[in-house]
Amino acid sequence: MGQSLDRDKRYEHLQKEVDRVVKVFGYQNVSVTGHSLGTAFAILVAKVFCDTIKCKWTPHLILNKRNFINQRYINQFIDQENCRDGGFKA
């Protein structure tokens, strides 16, 4: 059985650090980033934080188009956008 990210000690440490930095600089001036597993932690920390302060949150993803795994996500986002527009684009 896998471990939940929000119960991981690294997540707890990151959450405390984000809380500390936000108190110093304000949430509008803080970005949380990560790579691979760090991205999962960053997204979770940002989502929980925004839910806590009741603000709108939109993740901004930067994906390497040449990476095979990323290409699958990019294609998924393109498909979702095409469906939202009511049609398919070539």
The pLDDT assigned to 83 comes to 65
Residue that is written with structure tokens 């095979």 in the block:
68
Terminal Cα-to-Cα distance of the chain (whole angstroms): 42
User: Is the confidence at residue 24, as pLDDT, over 90?
Assistant: yes
Residues 49, 59 contacting (CB under 8 angstroms)? no
Average model confidence (pLDDT) across the chain: 78
CB atoms closer than 10 angstroms to residue 5:
14
Model confidence pLDDT, tens digit, residues 59-80: 777 777 787 777 777 777 777 6
- Cα–Cα–Cα angle for 21, 19, 39, nearest 5°? 90
Domain ranges of the chain: 1-58, 60-90
Residue that is written with structure tokens 């986002």 in the block:
77
Residues 88, 82 contacting (CB under 8 angstroms)? yes
